[in-house]
Structure 1
Amino acid sequence: MTPAEKEVADLCVELIRADSSNYGDGTGTGERAAAEVVMSRLAEVGIDYEYIESEPGRGNVITRVAGSDPSLPALLVHGHLDVVPANAADWSVDPFAGEVRDGYIWGRGAVDMKDMDAMMLALIRQLKREGRQPRRDLVFAWVADEEAGGVYGAKYLTAHHRDLFEGVTEAISEVGGYSLEVDPSLRLYLIETAQKGLAWMKLTADGTAGHGSMLNSDNAVTEIARAVARIGEHDWPLTYTPTVRRFLTEVASAFEIEFDEDDPQPVLDRIGPLVRFVGATLRHTTNPTQLGAGYKSNVIPGQATAVIDGRFLPGFEEDFFKTVDSLLGPKVRREFVHHDIALETSFDGDLVESMIAAIKAEDPAARAIPYCMSGGTDNKTFFADMGVRGFGFVPLRLPGDMDFASMFHGVDERVPVDALHFGVRVLERLLVNY
């Protein structure tokens, strides 16, 4: 067992115990405690780093490992230190105790994403102790605020500290590299190459205020309700991006079934709970999430609002908004609460080949395939602001019966210790040799 394998679980536990809950509203302790774990473990082996706070307590840690070939572009390896909150009453363990039980590390952040934070830390410590040098510069970044859009993390760093990422052209981070077992002789490893775009939209309808007992044909509540119903009930058609088409084709081949573009459900049924990750990537989605109107039972308000969580496919943003606007109606206007790009890159190139080779070296039964995720990561920021081509690659060989998708933001989040050992070995092969 390598030095990194020996300590990665302890580092993951230590990071989980540093509560870095991000409530998204400015409350909480921030990422400082988790950043201090990273900094202390870097300093312990003599690694220099930059610590940057975008606001008090909102900590980011960045360090660069020099490569042996300065002609090669640098690779960014990044993970976020913040986690979503956890209600301890819902859990069977203390979500911030980092308990190790039944071969798993339990706690908030175990898979999202203090497992990767720990693997990064274990590997850089091993490289330093052994005096080993990768082929290219590696920039390691443990960042803040990913769970609330990255304003205090990736977005702040690319705006104010771009020099720290000089020469970076590619990146790896969450969510990808995990396994889906077909049978004992074949495991698919899903590498994320695409993400849907984000459009949180506030809808507003203006009407004529009046007494609730009177006739009113210009009721703002009625208008907003109609618009919400039209948008929420819209049957978005199946639309296959190159990534999704290849994913479904690869899964169908692995399970030796046909992929029918008019009915992809038989293929989706084969991936089990992971359908929560990819099921929504076959079409746009528009889910109503909030409603607001009025202040008294017998007063017709002059305005009513709603919020729609919209997610659009890479390459089809114009189509998405054209349809949304047609569903609004003439008396309803929209504005963005938050808008972020969609991403899609091809499943080819030297980095992809290196990721595939690293996985297969540790798992001969592996077959790597691309997939699109319905959510988003900091890879969007690094692409939008610096043109960095990003992939979701946190390699984990998982038990065949593990409901991995439910671990993200879920109750009793946990990661297998063996999966961390596997991940460290894969990442070592990738980062040293690429």
Structure 2
Amino acid sequence: MAFRPSLLLSAALITAVPAAFAQERTDFEQQAREIYRNVVEVRSARGHENVPEIVDYVVGELKAAGFTDEDIEVTDYDNDGEATQGLVVWYRSPDPQDKPIALLAHMDVVDALAEDWVREPYKLIEEEGYFFGRGTADNKYGVTSLVATFIRLKEEGFEPTRDLVMVLSGDEETGMVSTRAQANWVAEEVDPAFVLNADAGGLGLDDNGEPLDYGIQGAEKTYATFELTVTNPGGHSSAPRADNAIYELADALKKIEAYKFPVRYNDLTLASIEAAGRKRLDRLGNAQRAFAADPTDEDAIETLRANPATVGQIGTTCIATMLRAGHAENALPQSATATVNCRIFPGVGIEATEATLKDVVGNEDVQFELISDLVESPESGMREDVLAAVETALEARGVTDVDIIPHMSAGGTDGMHYRNLGYDTYGVGGAAAKQNDTFAHGLNERLLVSSFYDGLDHFYVILKELAGPDEG
């Protein structure tokens, strides 16, 4: 069923941990930090083929905690000529009472260049109240959370009432070859009741570090990338032609830049936008509340479209991300190509989006090619047991009076492939972050140190709630 605003729950954050306690970390916290350091410091980006190094390390930690070869499956994949791996770990129930739960995270990252960063990107650095490093947020914290929780539960002798299956992919940021294969394997071999994704969701904080709300991902936009190409006979640069491949392509891109896709919304996005607006008294908050009340409000639409954090919530977006053109500085270009990345609102469709772009460009000489192998996924209806488990996890870390808000991600995660196969999938990450504070995929990515430690119990509590014996 579709999410209804009336399903909002309450939960949230308490006071910060005293500074003195911050220096007195438990054995589990220290162990988790060491896992975090080891996975962050592996350059598991495309072109380096280092994902197997993370797999080897994680497998060693899991075996030391008591997982056996029968519980662990390492699979090799070819991502467009580059080797990567996936890892599946089965935490078995001695007497399963319910269908399994699958848990997702990804081990790869978008690459980072040391010369562009203030600090070394592939070294875990703790400064100014943050952990800095590529993947500290996306998604090495998710990997750390799941691996550390499995180890903790195993060492405690926890016996779940249903199987728990951790699935770590190796190329979520690129071809998603491992993700697709793993999703199909999970469907055939596990057939879970639902899927929990550590690569989405989390606790939102204001600029002062106070909690705003907890977002649970229940839907994702469709990821689609097109290449637009213009060709031309070219010639010598001293004899310019009236037509020019670069100028012609630039005209097409300027038309795409100016075009605004139709406004879209559903129950989930309206609830998310309305709840976010209730936390703000500024112009953006006013616009969010106005849009939730009336999605045709032009002033509200204009404000939401002008903000990078909200534009993706009210419709499809297509944006130019890469260019290549010409072959010599003294020759007219024989071809010019632009990469246009689209995030398509659920239900719109890829073919319809391409048709719209072609109409906007209005030039049959501009060739379109879909270069992404994409998946269109539906939204997941909210499960009461998952919502209740998240609420309990928040309360366990000291939280009250914060709405749990299902939302749609403008980006894409492994979860889309599981939704596409019919499995309700929920982004329920344990991290807390201020708006625009993680810099995922960008420079100087970071995660609050307090968020790292406060969120370590998150999946521990959730799994005990959803797969623990009834103690009543």
Identical columns (%): 24
RMSD of the alignment, in Å? 3.1
Report the number of matched residues. Answer: 420
The SS at the match of 2:124 is coil
Cα separation, partners in 2 of 1:327 and 1:253, compared to 1, 3 Å: same
Q: Which residue of structure 2 lines up, in the alignment, with residue 325 of structure 1? A: 358
Q: Given residue 371 of structure 2, which amino acid in structure 1 is its aligned partner?
A: V
Q: Given residue 12 of structure 1, which amino acid in structure 2 is its aligned partner?
A: Y
Aligned pair partner of 1:353 in 388, 403, 425:
388
The alpha carbon displacement at 1:121 in A equals 1.4
Structure-to-structure mapping, 1:380-391, within 5 angstroms: 380-384=416-420, 386-391=421-426
The separation in 1 between residues aligned to 2:50 and 2:337, in whole angstroms, is 32
The SS at the match of 2:432 is coil
Cα separation, partners in 2 of 1:291 and 1:130, compared to 1, 3 Å: closer
Q: Given residue 85 of structure 1, which amino acid in structure 2 is its aligned partner?
A: D
Aligned pair partner of 1:44 in 21, 39, 64:
64
The SS at the match of 2:368 is strand
The alpha carbon displacement at 1:344 in A equals 4.3
> Do residues 54 (structure 1) and 86 (structure 2) align?
no
Aligned pair partner of 1:95 in 116, 121, 135:
121
The separation in 2 between residues aligned to 1:217 and 1:185, in whole angstroms, is 59
Structure 1: state its 5+ residue gaps.
270-274
Question: In the alignment, is the contact (CA less than 8 A) between 1:22 and 1:28 conserved in 2?
Answer: yes
The alpha carbon displacement at 1:212 in A equals 6.3
Cα separation, partners in 2 of 1:278 and 1:2, compared to 1, 3 Å: farther
Structure 2: state its 5+ residue gaps.
1-24, 292-296, 467-472
Which has the larger displacement, 366-375 or 67-76?
67-76
Cα separation, partners in 2 of 1:79 and 1:297, compared to 1, 3 Å: closer
Cα separation, partners in 2 of 1:185 and 1:337, compared to 1, 3 Å: closer
Q: Given residue 464 of structure 2, which amino acid in structure 1 is its aligned partner?
A: V
Aligned pair partner of 1:375 in 375, 398, 411:
411
Q: Which residue of structure 2 lines up, in the alignment, with residue 306 of structure 1? A: 338
Question: In the alignment, is the contact (CA less than 8 A) between 2:380 and 2:426 conserved in 1?
Answer: no
The SS at the match of 2:400 is coil
The separation in 2 between residues aligned to 1:218 and 1:149, in whole angstroms, is 36
Q: Which residue of structure 2 lines up, in the alignment, with residue 396 of structure 1? A: 431
User: Structure 1, residues 46-69: CA drift from partner, whole Å, max 9, x if none?
Assistant: 212112222586232211112366
Question: In the alignment, is the contact (CA less than 8 A) between 1:134 and 1:433 conserved in 2?
Answer: no
> Do residues 233 (structure 1) and 258 (structure 2) align?
yes
Q: Which residue of structure 2 lines up, in the alignment, with residue 10 of structure 1? A: 34
Question: In the alignment, is the contact (CA less than 8 A) between 2:235 and 2:331 conserved in 1?
Answer: yes
Q: Which residue of structure 2 lines up, in the alignment, with residue 249 of structure 1? A: 274
Q: Which residue of structure 2 lines up, in the alignment, with residue 260 of structure 1? A: 290
Structure-to-structure mapping, 1:156-175, within 5 angstroms: 156-158=181-183, 163-167=188-192, 169-175=194-200
- So what's the TM-score if we normalise by structure 2? 0.79
Cα separation, partners in 2 of 1:95 and 1:223, compared to 1, 3 Å: closer
Q: Which residue of structure 2 lines up, in the alignment, with residue 272 of structure 1? A: none
Question: In the alignment, is the contact (CA less than 8 A) between 1:84 and 1:147 conserved in 2?
Answer: yes
User: Structure 1, residues 366-391: CA drift from partner, whole Å, max 9, x if none?
Assistant: 3211222221111122333x332222
Question: In the alignment, is the contact (CA less than 8 A) between 1:169 and 1:387 conserved in 2?
Answer: no
- So what's the TM-score if we normalise by structure 1? 0.85
Q: Which residue of structure 2 lines up, in the alignment, with residue 75 of structure 1? A: 101
The separation in 1 between residues aligned to 2:268 and 2:439, in whole angstroms, is 24
